[in-house]
Amino acid sequence: MYTYSTKGTCSRQIIFDVDENNKIHGLRFIGGCSGNLQGIARLAEGKDIDEVEKLLAGIRCKGNTSCPDQLSKAIAEYKATQKNAVK
């Protein structure tokens, strides 16, 4: 499980797994608008993380970010940690 602490949104954390095929699983948001975030989680389930990151990056809500945008940032951070782990 990877955990990301959000910035500038109602949700506080994003938790997810990535399988060996780069697919996202078990996506959960802690806090925020439950119905909308459950919808995002279901839509992202089993999708390639690069696709999800690209689709959601830059979506704005209150302020300069949103929960979908924060998910794209969480994925970017996850990928950076994986890249550094390989070195």
CATH number for the domain harbouring residue 25:
3.90.1010
CA distance 65 to 42: 21
Q: What is the mean pLDDT of the chain?
A: 95
- For the stretch 60-80, pLDDT in tens is 998 899 999 999 999 999 999
Q: Is 86's pLDDT higher than 80?
A: no
pTM: 0.93
Domain that holds residue 59: 2-86
Structural domain count, the chain:
1
- For the stretch 3-13, pLDDT in tens is 999 999 999 99
What is the DSSP code (8-state) at residue 4? E
The length of the chain is 87
CB crowding 38-69: b at 16 or more within 10 Å, else e: eebbeebeebebeebbeebeeeebeeebbbbb
